[in-house]
Amino acid sequence: MKYIDEFRDGALAQTLAGKIAAAAADGRRYSLMEFCGGHTHAISRFGLADLLPENVRMVHGPGCPVCVLPIGRIDMAIELALEHGVILCTYGDTLRVPASAGLSLMKARAGVGERRADIRMVYSTLDALQIAREQPQREVVFFAIGFETTTPPTALAIQQAQREQLANFSVLCCHVLTPAAIRSILDSPAAGQPAAPSIDGIVGPAHVSTVIGTRPYEFVSTQYRKPVVIAGFEPLDVMQAILMLLRQLNEGRAEVENEFARAVSREGNLKAQQRMAEVFELRPEFEWRGLSLLADSALRIRPEYAGFDAERRFRLEYRAVPDNKACECGAILRGLKRPQDCRIFGSVCTPQNPVGACMVSSEGACAAHYSYGRYRDKD
């Protein structure tokens, strides 16, 4: 198949649904986690859950970059823009994530009292670099979020800034790592933490895996004895991955398989990995929304590039802030609850007025369910 509509072919989807139904053994339940928000979006948008037999259940995972960003990190970005007067550049979805005191980056841009933050939406790190070149008298900070997909462009921007000696450019680095999040979901909970639901297999990330390859997921099969199938974001990709997971489970196999072979290899993009390794190192720990503090789960800028590290440059300190009490994002990101389990879903919390991060991005489980699934709740 070559074109995108071929991966959305309804007749082929029905054929795959028939194969999944035939593969789902009577008397057995299959609980599969789609790690990525991209898969969550596809499942909601194309109604894939309706094509699955009753004993095959999809559980949303934490793979939405905006959703896992804790409030304290947004607060740091707002502090940069309001207290330090920098031009803060970031990707569009990040602007609407709720922060402390009823703020968000977008609201800070609109004005807080007399102060108005200079916050700009960019499409790439190159846009942020260009703003820094054009305004040498201003400090420009790129607020970098996301998994391994968006990390290489941030590394390139920092290296480019160093080459150009752009002294007014720096990065607030909040990049996080997929394998650590998967491990956290599969591990036994820490004392006082609720246990995640038992997951039989994982539909693994598409875009992230183009960078890191399939090798970093092998611990899931060797240490946890669970199958993983890396899958593209089109509906037939997801259906095929579900079928592959069911077949593994039925045959007692726990392997890393690659449905997205048209873009992903076992080794991944070695050049991108090298750039990441040159610029970033592991943070000892990082707080994730919903997953709490995870060791070695995020990146920070290496000392060699300290001049481009906004945390060092502006002496920022991270302060953990609890989520809105009514918001169930944390439980949803661990697969413990569904969007419709939140009592303010679709009433107080909507995409126009998000209370939690899962309602912000189209990849967020709450936003996806709001856009494509909420009317089914009334059946």
Of these, 342, 361, 363, 368, which contacts ligand SF4 (CB under 6 A)? 342
Q: What residue number has its CB nearest to ligand SF4?
A: 356
Q: Is 325 helix (H, G, I), strand (E, B) or coil?
A: coil
Run of H or E residues at 34: strand 30-36
CB atoms within 10 A of CB 255: 17
Of these, 59, 80, 172, 349, which contacts ligand SF4 (CB under 6 A)? 349
Instruction: Return the range that interacts with ligand SF4 (CB under 6 A); candidates 124-132, 167-175, 283-291, 340-348.
Output: 340-348
| Closer residue to ligand SF4, CB minimum distance, 64 or 203 | 64
Whole-number Å distance between alpha carbons of 45 and 42: 5
Of these, 344, 351, 372, 374, which contacts ligand SF4 (CB under 6 A)? 344
Instruction: Return the range that interacts with ligand SF4 (CB under 6 A); candidates 7-15, 70-78, 114-122, 358-366.
Output: 358-366
Whole-number Å distance between alpha carbons of 142 and 119: 10
Contact 148, 269 (CB under 8 A): no
What does the angle CA 61 – CA 39 – CA 331 come to, to the nearest 5 degrees?
20
SS3 labels along 219-253: HHHHHCCCCEEECCCCHHHHHHHHHHHHHHHHCCC
Residue 291 contacts ligand SF4 per CB under 6 A:
no
Find where tokens 């008298």 sit: 137
Instruction: Return the range that interacts with ligand SF4 (CB under 6 A); candidates 192-200, 278-286, 302-310, 341-349.
Output: 341-349
- Binding-site size, ligand SF4 (CB under 6 A): 16
| Closer residue to ligand SF4, CB minimum distance, 86 or 329 | 329
Whole-number Å distance between alpha carbons of 136 and 295: 37
Q: How far is the CB of 169 from ligand SF4 (least distance, A)?
A: 33
| Closer residue to ligand SF4, CB minimum distance, 173 or 332 | 332
Of these, 356, 361, 362, 368, which contacts ligand SF4 (CB under 6 A)? 356
Of these, 105, 141, 182, 355, which contacts ligand SF4 (CB under 6 A)? 355
Q: How far is the CB of 97 from ligand SF4 (least distance, A)?
A: 10
For ligand SF4, what does the binding mask look like between residues 300 and 339, x meaning CB under 6 A?
--------------------------xxxx--x------x
According to DSSP, residue 194 is labeled P
Q: How far is the CB of 100 from ligand SF4 (least distance, A)?
A: 16
Contact 149, 190 (CB under 8 A): no
Of these, 171, 358, 363, 368, which contacts ligand SF4 (CB under 6 A)? 358
DSSP conformation letters of 131-179: HHHH-TTS-EEEEEEESTTTHHHHHHHHHHHHHHT-TTEEEEEEEB-HH
Q: How far is the CB of 356 from ligand SF4 (least distance, A)?
A: 3
| Residue 101 zone, left/alpha/beta (φ > 0; ψ -120 to 50; rest) | left
Q: How far is the CB of 49 from ligand SF4 (least distance, A)?
A: 18
Whole-number Å distance between alpha carbons of 28 and 129: 54
Whole-number Å distance between alpha carbons of 221 and 248: 11
For ligand SF4, what does the binding mask look like between residues 113 and 132, x meaning CB under 6 A?
--------------------
Of these, 157, 298, 366, 368, which contacts ligand SF4 (CB under 6 A)? 366
Q: What phi, psi does 89 have (nearest 5°)? A: -110, 140
- Which residues contact ligand SF4 by CB under 6 A? 326-329, 332, 339, 342, 344-345, 349, 354-356, 358-359, 366
